[in-house]
Copies of this chain bind each other. A is one copy, B any other.
Amino acid sequence: MSDLLERLRERGWRMTAQRRVVAEVLDGQHVHLTADEVHARATERLPEISRATVYNTLGEMVSIGEVIEVATDGRAKRYDPNAHRPHQHLVCSRCGTIRDVHPQGDPLAALPASERFGFAVSTVEVTYRGVCPDCAA
């Protein structure tokens, strides 16, 4: 079930109850949670888990590429466990929920060399914004 947990173990992570819970919370969700939301859900299973541990664990998962950090507003970052399939995000401008979407074509191709100003461009993030069906009602 928990591929994420399995991959972390393979990387030599020390398996603590806290890390297990954080991985499970991420794995079980299709929405993109903020760090404090992850903490809230983790607390339901492991009441004494601290905020710092959740932040640390998420940060480590991001730095090894198992989880993607999404900053769509200037507020809390959100964490996306779907790091292995390239995708972009569709954000509701009212309620802030995020959906994964898969646009056609390679967005990198749209930026000609003359517009790269010597940058070694490596990634593109595309954020579509609009009003979701629930908020439009």
Contacts and interface: CB of A to CB of B under 8 A. Distances in A.
Nearest to A108: B128
Given A69-B74, A77-B74, A119 B111 contact: no
Copies in the complex: 2
A104 to B, nearest CB: 5
A115 interface: yes
A104 B110 contact: yes
Contacts of A127: 124-127
Contacts of A136: 118, 120
B121 A130 contact: yes
Interface in A106-137: 107-108, 110-112, 115-133, 136
Interface string A47-74: 0000000000000000000000101111
Given A74-B76, A90-B116, A99-B119, 14 more contacts: A93-B122, A101-B116, A103-B112, A107-B107, A110-B126, A119-B128, A121-B128, A121-B129, A123-B130, A124-B126, A124-B129, A125-B129, A126-B126, A127-B127
